[in-house]
Amino acid sequence: MTSTREQWMWRRFLSGVAVAVAITAAAFVVGGAQGQEPQPLSASDIADGMRLYQQKGNCQACHGWAGDGRKTDSQMPDGANLRDTKLNRSGLVMTIKCGRLNSQMPAFDKFAYTDGRCYGKTQADLKSYATRMPDPPATLQQREIDLIADFLIAKIAGKGPMDHAKCVEFWGSETDACKEFPK
Ligand code: HEC
């Protein structure tokens, strides 16, 4: 026959097990979600992508610092307005890696037209296009292309025309670049 105290101990033990099971289950759900969904973008990754866009990739020479197509280098081809782009993340990544055939958008993947990874084409196929893709200012690693795509999504793609408030948010403070936009 079990005493009242034994019953109490037993109930306490069982409720302890239930809590442990619940915690483990919650950990699995959270862990599972982390495995599938992209990690939230960190501010430092976005800043890295912005730097790559401005400097190593020199995207702004053709697309403008705001991505609105107002190029910063008048000698460069007119880049698309990236603020209006309909491309999703993988479309952006693909365009940066492979450039755009028959246009002046360069391919930034060093091996873009070597092994068919870009639209199944090789260097020889490129000769048949009237407009030749220019060489990129520098080639980019996959990780760098990912960072630029993340920066574009966070700060440029689908964000509409630049205005004063967006400019201050873009640079993180009131800067000279924002003076041209009325408050
Ligand atoms: C030499 C000039 C030049 C440079 C440098 C350049 N682009 Fe472009 N880019 C273009 C042109 C021109 C187009 C338009 C191509 C076309 O006619 O479809 C374009 C198109 C694009 C598009 C497709 C937009 C859309 O909605 O279809 C993306 C995305 C893009 N560029 C991103 C970048 C990024 C990111 C960089 C830097 C890593 C970069 N570009 C560097 C000239 C350039």
- List average pLDDT for each run of 10 residues in the chain, which is 183 residues long: 68 69 54 54 94 98 97 94 97 98 98 97 96 97 98 96 96 95 94
80 alpha carbon to ligand 1 midpoint, in Å? 6
Give the pLDDT of residue 11: 76
Give the pLDDT of residue 104: 97
122 alpha carbon to ligand 1 midpoint, in Å? 20
Give the pLDDT of residue 34: 46
Handedness of CA 88, 93, 98, 103 (dihedral sign): positive
User: What's this model's pTM, rounded to 2 decimal places?
Assistant: 0.82
82 alpha carbon to ligand 1 midpoint, in Å? 8
